[in-house]
């Protein structure tokens, strides 16, 4: 299990390591930038939306949204990553808190057009993911959308196939989204498979 200090240490090399994994089409970040680009396109279809980013890291996606005119709010638990992201987005509203402990109180005072989470929810087990989504529903505008980009699979067979291919690189401490399982709770969930180990989950407020 990652702790804050681990992410603080990793922060300065994070973007480079993620980029290399994506270039090699390797687990766990194969499709990373395609996922971020797709989420960027979805969020910027609306003019100047208010976006909450959970686990924004160094701000790779969030800073693009910020530069495109989005009003940015965010939560992360790494002090170093918040420091790096703040340099890119000086007027963003960024708060430090572990998602396992819920949403930071100041972030609960607003409603958001989009709530996004990229490669941050695999640190939560399935029950914790559902608890978080239920909390997030009340923070959405009436036509708001939750968008999750992460290591994710259509079904368990695809997860097991990827696990076999990854071998010793597979992280047994991370809990990945399996869309079929989530659809048992959210039947209208949309899953976009982007790579052999990555995808996007879309949950619109009227449907959750």
Over residues 140-173, the pLDDT tens digits come to: 999 999 999 999 999 999 999 999 999 999 999 9
Q: Are 43 and 53 in contact (CB under 8 A)?
A: no
Supply the pLDDT for residue 18: 77
Compute the distance between CA of residue 63 and CA of residue 153 in angstroms, rounded to an integer.
27
Give SS3 for 63: helix
Question: Peptide bond preceding 28: is omega within 30 degrees of 0, i.e. cis?
Answer: yes
Reported as a pLDDT band with limits 50, 70 and 90, residue 13 is low
Read off the pLDDT of residues 94-109 as tens digits, 9 standing for 90 and up.
999 999 999 999 999 9
- Classified as helix, coil or strand, 130 is helix
Domains parsed from the chain with CATH numbers: 4-207 (3.40.50.150)
pLDDT band at 21 (very low <50, low <70, confident <90, very high): confident
- In this predicted structure, the answer to whether residue 15 has a pLDDT above a threshold of 80 is no
pLDDT per residue over 98-148, tens digit each?
A: 999 999 999 999 999 999 999 999 999 999 999 999 999 999 999 999 999
CB 56 within 8 A of CB 85: yes
pTM over 0.85: yes
């Amino acid at each position: 299990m990652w702790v804050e200090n681990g992410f603080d240490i990793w922060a300065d090399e994070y973007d480079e390591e993620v980029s290399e994994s994506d270039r090699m089409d390797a687990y766990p970040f194969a499709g990373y930038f395609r996922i971020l680009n797709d989420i960027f396109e979805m969020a910027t279809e609306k003019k100047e939306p208010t976006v909450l980013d959970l686990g924004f890291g160094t701000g790779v996606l969030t800073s693009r949204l910020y530069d495109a005119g989005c009003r940015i709010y965010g939560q992360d638990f790494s002090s170093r990553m918040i420091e790096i992201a703040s340099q890119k987005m000086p007027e963003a509203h960024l708060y430090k808190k572990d998602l396992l402990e819920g949403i930071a109180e100041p972030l609960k005072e607003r409603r958001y057009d989009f709530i996004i989470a990229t490669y941050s929810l695999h640190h939560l087990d399935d029950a914790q993911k559902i608890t978080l989504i239920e909390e997030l529903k009340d923070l959405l505008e009436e036509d708001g959308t939750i968008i999750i980009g992460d290591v994710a699979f259509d079904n368990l067979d695809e997860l097991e196939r990827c696990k076999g291919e990854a071998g010793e690189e597979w992280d047994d401490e991370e809990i990945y989204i399996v869309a079929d399982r989530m659809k048992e709770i959210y039947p209208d969930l949309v899953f976009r498979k982007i790579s052999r180990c990555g995808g996007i989950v879309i949950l619109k407020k009227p449907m959750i």
